[in-house]
Amino acid sequence: MSFLVRRGDESVVQEFATACSAGSVGALRRMLAPQAVVVSDGGGQVAAAPHPVRGADAVAQCVTELLSLQPGTALTVQAVNGQAGVVLRRAGAVVAVVSLTVTGAKVAAVWIVLNPDKLRHWL
């Protein structure tokens, strides 16, 4: 898997984070490439899409549902796999890590790790 957010694409990641914080399907939709895809991993322990979701409308809806911010959730932009990404924490514990593939000024792919076993090393 390749997680590609080049220098200069940090503004796209920040915009993505802002749209997620707002829970705005429309804002997410506008920043997605038409053939965008989201892959999520819940490890069978938390809700995640069982298969990749394709198409900007479906991806925007899926991301909004998976990353819905419950009270007490903090969302930050920070390094994920050496690139700008998004980390969600609830009660101080990491509950999701998001990597993006950015093409031009659009998000082409969203990779969401929700699996608690894979998030244990995150601080």
74 bridge partner residues: 89
- DSSP readout, 23-56? T-HHHHHHHEEEEEEEEEE-TTTS---SS-EESH
What are 47-86's pLDDT values in tens digits? 999 999 999 999 999 999 999 888 889 999 999 988 889 9
pLDDT value for 3:
44
Is residue 52 within 8 A of residue 64, CB to CB? The reply is no
Mean pLDDT value across residues 23-30: 95
pLDDT value for 9:
78
The yes-or-no verdict on residue 110 having pLDDT over 80 is: yes
The yes-or-no verdict on residue 115 having pLDDT over 70 is: yes
Class in CATH terms, 10-119 = alpha beta
